[in-house]
Structure 1
């Protein structure tokens, strides 16, 4: 998990996660120079499974997630956002896919909710028009992978980290690498999490269109370099 000024929701999210974990599991949190009581709220759990890494300077979500992934020790890695709420069967359902479906990457659906957890849509994949193809070329036009809904094996981690420069987002990169590398992807077509959507989203203007185009160019570039064995 990467946190930044997440005091409003982090307690609820951590409680939903910790209740599903064993004593051998870990929750790695990289805090990106929060200015509120995020760290105080996390420390108040007084749980040895929580490991906090505090950035000395703000490095953004991609590098913060990369730092967290590099610090992980488990066989299976779950990505988490600071403001969602995991349903009580999320971990058990995902682990079943790893162990019985021999999955390398598990992607599940989520219920879209507002600030107060009021439902907006029963399916994030439907709401966001996500389509999961077998080739990374299908992911080039639109990224269907949402980090908070993803978990993967350590062998996926070893291929994806370190992140190349200029990836558009960490989840886009991880999903594309799994497609390109032929890793087994299991899709759970029901909700295992409440996915908060809040704030204003600006779409359709010239700046946004330019950013979308640049992201796709960068994604194309890093995927081509990865296929040729380049790592940066």
Structure 2
């Protein structure tokens, strides 16, 4: 988990995670120099499975997630945001899918409504389908046009695949989740999990905003994603 000034919701999220974890699991929380007491709130929960690490300065959520993943030592790494709610059974569903294929991405719903997010491109409910898991090029094209519902908070990675995912490319300034999905597509190791494993809390401070981008920002993002595809393919070739 990456946290930053998340005191309003982080305790609820942590409790939902702990209820899913086994005795030998761990929750690594890397705090990105919060100023509102977020890490102290997490530590006060007092569960031995929690490990809190503080960034000495603010690095942004991409590098903070990268640091958290580097600190993990489990067979499968599940990512978590600071303000959502895990669905009962999430841990086992995502861990099994990632253990089988390498990288798993599941569906999610909005906390409070139980409705899926809607595609910003088509307006239809945004859902992953298991049958499209191996459609690597089609999935990547959906990423490039902004119509792929991959969210880091609903993803998991098997340990032996982590060297393909991390370290994140130096040019990656956002969308670590789309980078992970891109690696999965390039390695043909991505599994779409149709089960809902997360209730996503929508609020003004979400790192990913539903508001439309400006043209320059949108173009820069697409260029970054194209670079990510070539970098992912390079890493996969080098690992063979």
Q: Which residue of 2 aligns with 1:83?
A: 83
Q: d(CA) in 1 for partners of 2:127 and 2:48? A: 37
Report the counterpart of residue 19 of structure 1 in structure 2.
19
Q: CA RMSD in A?
A: 2.3
Deviates more, 1:127-136 or 1:79-88: 127-136
The answer on 1:3 being equivalent to 2:3 is yes
For structure 2, list consecutive stretches of 5 or more residues without a partner in the other structure: none
Q: Distance in 1 between matches of 2:160 and 2:118?
A: 26
Match of 1:162 in 2: 167
Q: Partners of 1:63 and 1:196 in 2: how far apart?
A: 22
Output the CA distance in 1 between the equivalents of 2:187 and 2:127.
21
Residue 169 of structure 1: how far off its partner (Å): 1.6
Aligned equivalent of 2:192: 187
Matched, 1:199 2:222: no
Q: Flag the 1:202–1:154 CA change in 2: closer, same or farther, 3 A.
A: closer
Q: Distance in 1 between matches of 2:227 and 2:95?
A: 33
Q: Which sections of structure 1, spanning at least 5 residues, go unmatched?
A: none
Q: Which of 123, 137, 144 is the aligned partner of 2:116?
A: 123
- Residue 225 of structure 2: which of 215, 219, 222 is its match? 219
TM-score (norm 2): 0.83
Give 1:92's aligned residue.
Answer: 92
Distance in structure 2 (CA, Å) of the matches to 1:228 and 1:108:
26
Match of 1:104 in 2: 102
Local SS of the residue matching 1:47: coil
* 3-state SS of 2:168 partner: coil
User: Taking structure 1 as reference, are residues 13 and 164 closer, same or farther at Cα in structure 2, changes over 3 Å only?
Assistant: same
State the SS of the aligned residue for 2:101.
coil
Give the aligned length: 221
TM-score by length of 1: 0.86
Question: Is contact 1:32-1:54 (8 Å) kept?
Answer: yes
| Equivalent residue number for residue 151 of structure 1 | 156
